[in-house]
Amino acid sequence: MAGIYIETYGCQMNEYDSELVKTILHENHHDLHGAEEDADVILLNTCAVRENAFNKIFSRVGNLKHLRRSHKVKVGILGCMAQNIKNKLLENPNIDFCVGPDNYRELPELIQKSLGKTKNESSTRLSKEETYSDVQPTREDSINAWIAIMRGCDNFCTFCVVPFTRGRERSRSVESIVSEATQAVKEGKKQVTLLGQNVNSYKNGEDDFCTLIEAVSEVKGLQRIRFTSPHPKDFPDHLLHLIAQKENICKQIHLPLQAGNTEVLTRMKRDYSREEFLHLAQKMRKLIPGVSLSTDIIVGFPGERDDQFEDTASLMEEVRFDSAYIFKYSPREGTYALKHYPDDVHEDEKKRRIIKLNEMQRKHTTESLSRMLGLECEVLVEREETHLSKEQCQGRTDQGTTVVIPQNGSLKCGDQVRVIIKDKTAHVLIGELIS
């Protein structure tokens, strides 16, 4: 059987999908290799959300030409790009096959066909049922386990390609997710992160996301539960109370804003107003003491006037997110925005706006870190040494903030220790162990 090398790009869902792919390949007697030079087939699991992700994959495919010539290596594209631009990918002479997110069970057959000289094969049918609930992921050594609770999305935000690359929403059963979390703990995982394009809309029979996360919180030995991403349009109060009450549900919420002007939000089809978002953020701060809020923002969406951009800036000032991921708008194949909205904000103006928001966010992040100085907190160790020093280890607080602490010679991944925060850098806290 073939030797396979996998590279993963993009979001946590792609990381999880690569873990599913490894299991499927292993069960079909393929060997997984840690070096591309040793492989017969190289799989690139791709993202289609940002233009930069597209460019990165095409550049990477070009870099693999020497292995195709010298080792006759086959190259397969997996994931959202395979679903979104299959025909364009298969026109590339250095790509042998494409497989969409709902078709990974067909990978072994396509690999065999490619090794038999068959080219330009693809499997990109979207499914209304596939959740891979019966596939136990092959996970890397880590304290965290990604668990996809659902697949697809029904929101159809006008800028987003996900409903066209991952299909419509379908949720796994509570029992299958709890079983996977239990197995993850048996494998030594201390934390799980529940994944979905919009976890709030999880629905399986009578069970909703609140039912699910409460059930997962009862798994013995599970120290921390995180989830991403919720949608501001349907965030129930009961979930906020659960986060506040349950010690092992982390006090960290990623709440994608996208824009701070109601008219722009309407064109984005986000289904909430500026005022509704502000009210929700304020409620979260009130009901969950010490909660950390992060967000996503797009600048330069089609038709975004300067005064509308300033509404986003003023909302950032009011909410003061602990961290933010800020992007320039780029059109995506298949989206409503590409078909109906001209990309009319000049590139220079997009650049000016993103620089302004990043400068604001650096200030807000510094304020957030400064508030931690002198406080005691629990840190879950994630690395036994940092990339700078073997004498330090690294972990995260309940709120997701990275903390560097001295390595006393006995600290290992998965240890939960109490520290006092002594200092900070631009993005990291510096702590000392409390005896």
User: Which fold, 253-371?
Assistant: Transcription Regulator spoIIAA (3.30.750)
Domain 141-250, CATH class in plain words: alpha beta
- Separation of alpha carbons 433 and 407, rounded Å: 9
Q: Which residues of 358-391 are buried (b: 16+ CB within 10 A; e: fewer)?
A: eebbeebbeebbeebeeeebbbbbbbeebeeeee
- Separation of alpha carbons 83 and 102, rounded Å: 9
Give 10-residue mean pLDDT values along the chain (435 residues).
92 96 96 91 92 87 91 94 93 94 96 84 93 96 96 97 96 98 97 97 97 98 97 95 97 98 98 98 97 98 98 98 97 94 98 98 98 97 91 96 95 96 96 92
pTM of the model: 0.96
What CATH number matches the domain at 376-433, 3.30.420.40, 1.10.240.10, 2.40.50.140, 3.40.50.720?
2.40.50.140
Q: What does the pLDDT look like over 282-338, one tens digit per residue?
A: 999 999 999 999 999 999 999 999 999 999 999 999 999 999 999 999 999 899 999
Tokens of 161: 């390609």
Domain ranges in the chain?
3-123, 141-250, 253-371, 376-433
Q: How far is CA 50 from CA 87, 306, 329, in A?
A: 19, 23, 8
The CATH code for residues 3-123 is 3.40.50.12160
Percent of the chain as helix, strand, coil, to the nearest 5: 40, 25, 40
Q: What is the CA radius of gyration of the chain?
A: 22
Whose tokens are 């992060």? That residue is: 294
pLDDT of 162 reads 95
